[in-house]
Amino acid sequence: MKRPPAARLRALRLLIMDVDGVLTDGGIYYTESGDEGKRFDVRDGQGIVSLHAAGLSTALVTKRSSSVVTRRARELGIGEVHQGVADKRAVVVAILARHGCPPAHTCYVGDDVGDLPAMRAVGVPVAVADAVDAVRRAAVWVTRRGGGRGAVREVCDLILAARGRRQLGSAGSVPLRTRTK
């Protein structure tokens, strides 16, 4: 599947993401005491921070609720965090209205069938590589990397590259030069 045209990516002002299976590998870890843990990729986090530096806004919309997600969002400066969401489309539409952002200027990254209504509400729906088939079919682009394994960084790098900002990473990496004596 081809990448969205650069002009479409340059127009983006808002990146909305699911959490489990997108920012995480989809696994949920429980301790003996009942605490929940999730695995996040630090490179995805750097991509999000780089988007913020370029002036884009970000939001999370997830069906589950977890204090771990709240903490990670705070660390990354993610402006809106919506947890325990049954109707992701309604929340996405409300976010767009609050930000005055048209659907064409919004990207949503998802991985499972609960993301389909939200993906249909934006101009650039993206699926992570290990998304279910229905989500992959609904996307305008599918990442090469899986959820929680650099997929979000790939999306961020692609958006930044379209804006003329080079990032180390998947969408225009810079080769390392070795130094010899």
Q: How far apart are CA 106 and CA 88, in angstroms?
A: 14
**pLDDT number for residue 1:** 66
C-beta neighbour count of 165 within 10 angstroms: 14
Six-digit token string for 47: 């991509």
**pLDDT number for residue 35:** 86
**pLDDT number for residue 48:** 98
The bridge status of strand 29-30 relative to strand 36-37 is: antiparallel
**pLDDT number for residue 2:** 72
Domain range 6-162, CATH class:
alpha beta
Distances in Å between the alpha carbon of 110 and those of 3, 127, 146, 176? Answer: 16, 5, 11, 32
pLDDT in tens, the chain (181 residues): 677 888 899 999 999 999 999 999 999 888 898 888 899 999 999 999 999 999 999 999 999 999 999 999 999 999 899 999 999 999 999 999 999 999 999 999 999 999 999 999 999 999 999 999 999 999 999 999 999 999 999 999 999 999 986 544 444 433 333 343 4
**pLDDT number for residue 176:** 35
Q: How far apart are CA 49 and CA 25, in angstroms?
A: 20
E-strand spans in the chain?
A: 14-17, 29-30, 36-37, 57-61, 80-82, 106-110, 124-127, 141-142
- Tokens 């479409």 -> residue: 8
Q: How far apart are CA 136 and CA 151, in angstroms?
A: 13
**pLDDT number for residue 4:** 81
Q: What is the DSSP string of 84-117?
A: S-S-HHHHHHHHHHHHT--GGGEEEEE-SGGGHH
Residue among 103, 68, 79, 75 at smallest CA distance from 89: 103
Distances in Å between the alpha carbon of 22 and those of 3, 107, 120, 128, 143? Answer: 18, 13, 17, 7, 11
